[in-house]
A = this chain, B = another copy of it.
């Protein structure tokens, strides 16, 4: 199995690395710490067992890739200026399956338009994983992927990939409703990521310990569910208390957006918060709580990046 992992950060290194352990041939393109990773590979500390991942090729750009990939993983963050389609230039062959392991909504549309004859798999990762410095990755909890075929239906290529992941210590659920999975993850992600940053740098436990913030979380989730329902995604209001309870019982956790903020990296605001605000407005669903925290987050992000 030939894999090209474009923009291989923490999530990419873990997923591709586990497949490489089981025999896949993996090339990666890297955004930062290129020399270090080319020389030493990734060092991954994981609750499922530590390992080292030395990719077969470490590239600065997919243009350098000369092989035919069975699967191209795109694991970049979804930022406003990122052009995912351009990243695929020249490497998508007739049978290449494009796998988006990313957050956000509607991220498949542009790819499908550019490559209408290629199969696209859309993937939501539940991996408590971060890059600390350079080539060091820490995987602290979770370990599940949910994969669906863009456009729905069964898929042999997906089945093969799921089998490979399952054999490589990464549990995968194949779903025929990946939109639901994306929204379900967003429900938690928007709420806790946004409050963790806008509230001044809070772990999940600190959010749940503060009645006003926990109620704000409930209000944000209510709005997200209404927007999801308006686009025919069946999130239910029961999920609110389930997620609150789940989060309360989970060990104190620093959200990925907060880690990005503290590292002064750009935040995935547009893809996860802005998109829901825009969908709400387009569908006449009032989203005042979302719109408030969205406006504040964009300001915080802008100042944070400027201050590098």
Contact = CB atoms under 8 A, between A and B. Distances in A.
A33 interface: no
Interface of A: 195, 198-202, 210, 212-213, 215-216, 219, 286, 288-289, 291-296, 298-300, 303-304
Contacts of A303: 200-202
Contacts of A289: 288-289, 291-292
Contacts of A213: 295-296, 299
Q: Quick one: copies of this chain in the complex?
A: 2
A288 B303 CA distance: 25
25 contacts: A198-B198, A199-B299, A200-B299, A200-B300, A201-B303, A202-B303, A210-B295, A210-B299, A212-B294, A212-B298, A212-B299, A213-B295, A213-B296, A215-B295, A216-B291, A216-B295, A219-B288, A219-B291, A219-B292, A288-B289, A289-B289, A289-B291, A289-B292, A293-B296, A296-B296
A292 B294 contact: no
Nearest to A287: B288
Contacts of A212: 294-295, 298-299
Given A216-B291, A216-B292, A296-B296, 19 more contacts: A198-B198, A198-B296, A199-B299, A199-B300, A200-B300, A200-B303, A200-B304, A201-B303, A210-B299, A212-B295, A212-B299, A213-B295, A213-B299, A216-B296, A219-B291, A219-B292, A286-B288, A289-B291, A292-B292
A54 to B, nearest CB: 41
Contacts of A291: 216, 219, 289
Given A219-B288, A288-B219, A288-B288, A202 B293 contact: no
